[in-house]
Amino acid sequence: AVEGGLGKRVGAFRHVELAEFFRRTYGPTGAFNAKPFEGSRSWAGARPEFRAIAYDSSGIAAHIGLLRRFIRIDGADLLVAELGLYGIRRDLEGLGLSSSFRVLLPVLRELGVPFGFGTVRPALHKHVARLGRGGLLVVKSGIRVRSTLHFALLDKPPTRIDDALVVVVPVGRPISDWPAGEMIDRNGAEL
């Protein structure tokens, strides 16, 4: 079963359940990655506008969130739906569940955005590239991404710059319309 909806609120119990899912999903990649989900917080940076949550008899099986925002690519503003908070329960990895990502395409079209946008760690390149085989998305490298820190710290700059892989999903425009550039400014915290 898949749950999702624009403007649909996630209840308090669901936040607890999602926070636990993220701690279990992201924790094995490092304790720091699970830390934002302590307690009942079900988002790490910016709060998603939409969530697609897949369930099976064991609970949450997969999750992806999105948030409309303007990003800036080498000085040019571009409306996108940022995709993030992607996770698949460990016992389901490798079973092709990631292809269910396609369930978001009608939502992206409904939102009227020209592109979906996200970033992933270089270690996930092969996994994400498999999704791109059918033309669903394009993976770009060599682009730096600036994000606002989730919490202001007096001893650190207010932003960080990552050399992550950029994932672009053509929705309302062809991939050839994606602006060339070496720096993307998220204009906010990572989703």
Say if residue 63 is exposed, middle or buried (CB neighbours under 10 Å; 0-12, 13-18, 19+): buried
Q: How many residues does the chain have?
A: 191
Report percent pLDDT > 90 for the chain.
26
Q: What is the pTM of this model?
A: 0.81
Say if residue 45 is exposed, middle or buried (CB neighbours under 10 Å; 0-12, 13-18, 19+): buried
What is the pLDDT of the chain when averaged over all its residues? 81
Among left, alpha and beta (phi > 0; psi -120 to 50; other), residue 14 is alpha
Asked whether the beta carbons of 62 and 92 are under 8 A apart, the reply is yes
Is residue 94 over pLDDT 50?
yes
Give the architecture (CATH level 2) of 3-185: 3-Layer(aba) Sandwich (3.40)
Give the pLDDT band of residue 132 (cuts 50, 70, 90).
Answer: low
Is residue 67 over pLDDT 70?
yes
Q: How much is the pLDDT for 10?
A: 52
Give the pLDDT band of residue 88 (cuts 50, 70, 90).
Answer: confident
Structural domain boundaries in the chain: 3-185
